[in-house]
Amino acid sequence: MDGNSRVQKRNRSAILAAALDVFSQHGYRGATLDQIASAAGMSKPNLLYYFPGKEAVFVQLLHELVDKWLEPLRQLNADGDPLEEIRTYVRRKVQMSQEMPQESRLFANEIVQGAPRMGTYLSQDLKELFDEKTALLSKWMDEGRIARMDPQHLIFSIWATTQHYADFEAQIHLLSDPGTDVFQSAAEFLDNLYVRLLTP
């Protein structure tokens, strides 16, 4: 990679990092290109060299974070032990909720609004992955390796129980006992919950 390409990559990364902060704080409608450029330490015309507008920044940011967010689901291994594969998936989702709360809330806000900028991606790429993994879960159930249940709702429930700790982080910390390691206790609770639920 030449020097110019390195600078471009660094600037794009700076814009997306700044955009995450701005969109997380102000929402899509409240955020402006001026705010993003300022947070990235560059001029608005310089930002527009890399992205044609606010929506382009937002869509690129969403695509990158969704790609990261779905990686643990992609890693469910058909050749692994089913219960251990699911337990690892749940633990990784809790860890990501702890490490990436802004990204989770940004994605959740897009979905709550009806996914106006992500609908095509969700109905194609995500649907393909979702169908692949629900088929794998069904196979494991048919083989008697995990308890039988609706595989789609199993994945939905994992998303709900893990991402809740990112999307409602302020509420969680206000209601939890002082000094509680919320994410550690959440990981332990959910591990126990899913082991009990999924053991044949």
Q: pLDDT (tens digit, 9 = 90+) per residue, 56-70?
A: 999 999 888 888 889
Segments forming the whole domain that contains residue 21 = 1-52
Tokens matching residue 130 = 């979702």
Calpha distance 73→159 (Å, rounded): 10
Last residue of a domain, one of 9, 29, 52: 52
Based on the structure, what is the number of domains in the chain? Answer: 2
Q: Nearest Cα to 107, choosing from 24, 25, 171?
A: 24
Calpha distance 14→196 (Å, rounded): 44
- Is the model's pLDDT at 155 over the cut of 70? yes
Calpha distance 119→136 (Å, rounded): 25
Are residues 101 and 34 part of one domain? no
Summary mean pLDDT of the chain: 93
- Is the model's pLDDT at 32 over the cut of 80? yes
- Is the model's pLDDT at 139 over the cut of 90? yes
Q: Is this structure's pTM higher than 0.85?
A: yes
Rounded to whole angstroms, what are the CA distances from 12 to 28, 48, 56, 87, 106?
19, 11, 12, 35, 19
**159 is a domain residue:** yes
75 within 8 A of 116, measured Cβ to Cβ: no
**93 is a domain residue:** yes
Rounded to whole angstroms, what are the CA distances from 85 to 47, 79, 160, 194?
42, 9, 18, 11
Are residues 67 and 44 part of one domain? no
**57 is a domain residue:** no
- What CATH number has the domain bearing residue 36? 1.10.10.60
Are residues 74 and 156 part of one domain? yes
Segment 170-174 shows an average pLDDT of 92
Which of the four pLDDT bands, split at 50, 70 and 90, describes residue 85?
very high
Model pLDDT, residue 130? 96
Tokens matching residue 22 = 């701005």
What DSSP assignment string belongs to 100-158?
-HHHHHHHHHHHHTT-TTTHHHIIIIIHHHHHHHHHHHHHHHHTTSS----HHHHHHHH
Model pLDDT, residue 67? 85
- Is the model's pLDDT at 75 over the cut of 90? yes
61 within 8 A of 19, measured Cβ to Cβ: yes
Are residues 45 and 77 part of one domain? no
- Is the model's pLDDT at 2 over the cut of 70? no
* More confident position, 66 or 50: 50
Are residues 185 and 108 part of one domain? yes
**166 is a domain residue:** yes
Model pLDDT, residue 52? 95
